């Protein structure tokens, strides 16, 4: 057992009072001060050998100020009253400069005062688990993968955790003391038979503690099994198909192709084809899309965002119609709506921007067996490896992890090198069945040079007339 790292922050009422005094002194409209201490672990094992074993410590604060349409931002690794005053002055000067060049002026809305503390529950506290125990578990997973079959030629296993305490203090007297904890394990495997090289990968991420090992105990074995099975896959023949997409591929589509187009900062910047289309039909009435931060334990769980706003559920599509966007304080003020708690920053030294949390398609009433039987002939598409999206025009491409040829409602041949491509709105309008059971995946989403934990998912969905290309 290791001693618990110190999560104390020297932030008391004196800091909040000084911030309010500085607001009056510089006559600014809005500020957001964030004080943070965080500890993280990254372990990487390659074929049983340690490649990385890092413990990282982060400590500091930042001040974001707003003056009539312009922002200023300053950060420091020192937390003191004198440093707060120095950063505040620097941030205000930058905000004033930015305001003088702002194309459109707007005012930042204020909200009711709030004082609250929250700590992410952990069934097995990460501070009570030694680094040796973390390494031992990861070694077990790596060994299970590497010894599964002689055709497994490479394994890369990763363990990552982070515990972070942030105290947020805003100009409208919203004070949030928030402790978050995240853990993620990833296993990547490569198989080879003659010149045929394939891969398998599995991951598990949660908001919580070391209880993740209860869910991730077979990750190494599952990744190896997938890599070996993929050796028997045949290249897909490109063409137009009716398909069934599994929850992980569907979730990736709904996050990447649709979700980013619903982030209000992109909408306002002219980077989304959904601008001005609230109330328009996006698909049939069985399609409901949610961004829900309240699912405790999911990797994308958020209680309060980085702007001291309660994170709340947003219905993006309701019964087939575009229903709303995701907002931080700035976009909500510009569009005269309420913020949704989507203002997230990856650390105290980054500015909060609009980010997703847990984004998914809600379940419908079809079983997978019913969908397969009704599909008759087509492709069952499974998970994803990589891809790209263009939210401004709705175009996307995702390379699938694998796929199955379906004949007469039965899986008959494993396929590889398949990619799903098309236009986002065409896919939504061509969804003809939505499954009963939703599954969620963990991931790390990048935007504005920041990376935050997210979840995405869906039930199985059936989509007609999809272009499948071979890679």
| Placement of tokens 């500085």 in the chain | 22
Helix, strand, or coil (residue 93): helix
The predicted structure's pLDDT at residue 102: 84
Chain mean position to CA 351 = 17
DSSP result, 209-246: STTHHHHSTTHHHHHHHHHHHGGG-EEPPPEEEEEEE-
Q: Which CATH architecture has domain 13-232?
A: 2-Layer Sandwich (3.30)
Say what percent of the chain tops pLDDT 70.
99
Tell me the C-alpha distance between 68 and 259, whole Å.
30
Whether the predicted pLDDT of 285 surpasses 50? yes
Split at pLDDT 50, 70, 90, the class of 471 is low
Mean pLDDT of 21-47: 97
**186-226: per-residue pLDDT in tens?**
999 999 999 999 999 999 999 999 999 999 999 999 999 99
Q: Please compute the mean of the pLDDT values over residues 16-38 and round it to a whole number.
A: 97
pLDDT of residue 103: 80
Q: First-to-last CA distance in the chain? A: 49
Phi, psi at residue 428, to the nearest 5°? -60, -40
Neighbours of 55 (CB within 10 A): 11
- The CB-side HSE value for 327 (13 A sphere, CA atoms) comes to 21
pLDDT > 60? residue 118: yes
- Using pLDDT thresholds of 50, 70 and 90, give the confidence band for residue 2: very low
Q: CA angle, 260 as apex, 254 and 266 as ends, to 5°?
A: 155
User: CATH 3.30.2290.10 in the chain, residues?
Assistant: 13-232
State residue 4's pLDDT score.
53
């Amino acid at each position: 057992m290791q001693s618990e790292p110190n999560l104390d922050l020297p932030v008391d009422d004196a800091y909040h009072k000084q911030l309010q005094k500085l607001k009056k002194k510089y006559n600014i409209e809005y500020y957001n001060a964030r004080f943070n201490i965080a500890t993280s672990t990254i372990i990487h094992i390659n074929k049983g050998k340690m490649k990385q074993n890092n413990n990282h410590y982060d400590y500091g604060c930042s001040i974001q100020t707003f003056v009539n349409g312009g922002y200023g931002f300053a950060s420091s690794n020192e937390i003191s009253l004198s440093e707060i005053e120095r950063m505040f002055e620097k941030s205000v000067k930058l905000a004033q400069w930015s305001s003088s060049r702002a194309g459109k002026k707007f005012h930042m809305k204020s909200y009711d005062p709030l004082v609250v503390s929250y700590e992410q529950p952990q069934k097995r506290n990460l501070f009570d688990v030694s680094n040796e125990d973390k390494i031992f578990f990861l070694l077990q997973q790596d060994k299970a993968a590497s010894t599964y079959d002689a055709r497994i030629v490479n394994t890369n296993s990763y363990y990552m955790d982070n515990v972070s305490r942030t105290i947020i203090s805003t100009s409208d007297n919203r004070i949030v003391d928030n402790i978050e904890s995240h853990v993620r394990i990833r296993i990547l495997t490569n198989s080879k038979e003659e010149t045929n090289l394939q891969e398998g990968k599995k991951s598990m991420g949660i908001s919580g503690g070391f209880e993740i090992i209860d869910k991730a105990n077979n990750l190494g074995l599952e990744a190896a099994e997938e890599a070996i099975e993929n050796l028997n896959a045949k290249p897909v023949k490109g063409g137009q198909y009716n398909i069934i997409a599994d929850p992980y591929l569907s979730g990736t589509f709904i996050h990447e192709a649709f979700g980013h187009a619903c982030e209000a900062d992109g909408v306002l910047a002219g980077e989304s084809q959904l601008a001005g289309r609230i109330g328009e039909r996006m698909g049939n009435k069985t399609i409901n899309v949610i961004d829900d931060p309240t699912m405790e334990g999911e990797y994308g769980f958020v209680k309060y965002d980085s702007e001291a706003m309660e994170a709340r559920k947003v219905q993006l599509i309701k019964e087939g119609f575009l229903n709303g966007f995701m907002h931080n304080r700035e976009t909500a003020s510009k569009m005269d709506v309420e913020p949704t708690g989507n203002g997230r920053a990856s650390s105290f030294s980054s500015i909060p921007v609009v980010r997703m949390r847990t984004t998914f398609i809600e379940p419908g009433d079809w079983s997978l067996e019913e969908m397969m039987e009704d599909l008759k002939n087509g492709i069952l598409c499974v998970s994803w490896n990589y891809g790209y999206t263009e939210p401004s025009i709705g175009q996307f491409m995702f390379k699938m992890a694998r796929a199955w040829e379906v004949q007469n409602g039965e899986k008959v041949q494993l396929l590889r090198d398949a990619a799903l491509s098309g236009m986002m709105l065409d896919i939504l309008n061509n969804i003809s069945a939505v499954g009963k059971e939703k599954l969620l995946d963990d991931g790390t989403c990048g935007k504005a040079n920041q990376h935050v934990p997210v979840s995405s998912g869906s039930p199985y969905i059936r989509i007609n007339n999809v272009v499948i290309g071979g890679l």
